Structure 1
Amino acid sequence: MTNRYEEASEAAKKLLCDFDEIDLAEEAAAANAALDAAYRERAHLVAHLASLYPSHIGHTDPNAPDWAVVIVETPAGQMSWHIAERDMDLFGHVMPTNRTCRGWDGHTTDEKYQRLEALIPDEGTALTRAERAEAAIARVRAIHTPVDTMAGRVCEGCMNCDPYEALPWPCRTIEALNSPEETPL
């Protein structure tokens, strides 16, 4: 059995080589696009993680100066990822690294993912935690209820037995619970 090059003329061989190079270039471009998409997907997840914990981002790795490094400080320990310049738009909410930021703690990739795994709640824990949070909110709402007094409608939980010193209803606690955004103190 012969291969396609053995019976081809020199011009045909050159064309076949050119097509092979084009095929390889197209395959390389497709592989690079898939890799870029995977990095973008990972960057979305890292950006979310950075929104949950204290984090900072900057070009701090002298071995990879074209890549920013996001450092996330979690209860399980520090984690960091290199972020491509094209993905920086996802990290506008992350504080830029400055001289007061804690630098890389020397963790390895394996240690980083062990720490990430340690943040995953045990089976049923997340639901229990959510239920506990809802119960706490219900207890706060039960204390901070409106009551009509001679001084007007005030918060019973903030009254301290003197309706003239009570906060008007709704009090700041109830406003904070009802607001989707932070209520200033």
Structure 2
Amino acid sequence: MEEQQINQSSTLDDAYFDRNQAVQALAKLARQRGMKVGLHRDPDAPGWPVLMIDLPTGQVGYHLPEKEVVGEWPEYEKGWDGHSLAEKRERVARFLAGEE
């Protein structure tokens, strides 16, 4: 049973690692297309910067553990627009559907 718990934890850690790399790849491509991208550092959440991306459909942000941030990102100077998780998902879905 203990080995199964370790494997499940490892699988979850692997999934989050992959998600964090995918988000950074999206941000890199967005930046190359001229979209505003950067890290926002919340003083209330040290060690968990938020990678912000201004998609044509609206701002989205993803918390990343500091140790998994790859490379250098500019500082995100705009503030968080207050979007909810549901709004973020809707903005990403609209972007994927081709709304720009």
TM-score, length basis structure 2 = 0.78
SS at match of 1:31: helix
Matched-pair identity in %: 29
1:5-46, Cα deviation, whole Å (9 max, x unpaired): xxxxxxxxxxxxxxxxxx33x333222211111111111221
Give the match for residue 92 of structure 2: 116
- Give the alignment's Cα RMSD to 1 decimal: 2.1
After TM superposition, give the deviation of residue 61 of structure 1 in Å: 6.0
Structure 1: tracts of 5 or more residues without a match = 1-22, 123-185
Q: Give the structure with higher Rg (CA).
A: 1
Q: Does 1:95 align with 2:71?
A: no
Residues paired across the two proteins, number: 94
Counting only pairs closer than 5 Å after superposition, residues 1-185 of structure 1 correspond to structure 2 as 23-24=1-2, 26-51=3-28, 52=30, 53-60=35-42, 62=44, 64-89=45-70, 92-97=71-76, 101-122=77-98
Moved over 3 A (4+): none
Structure 2: tracts of 5 or more residues without a match = none
TM-score, length basis structure 1 = 0.45
SS at match of 1:57: strand
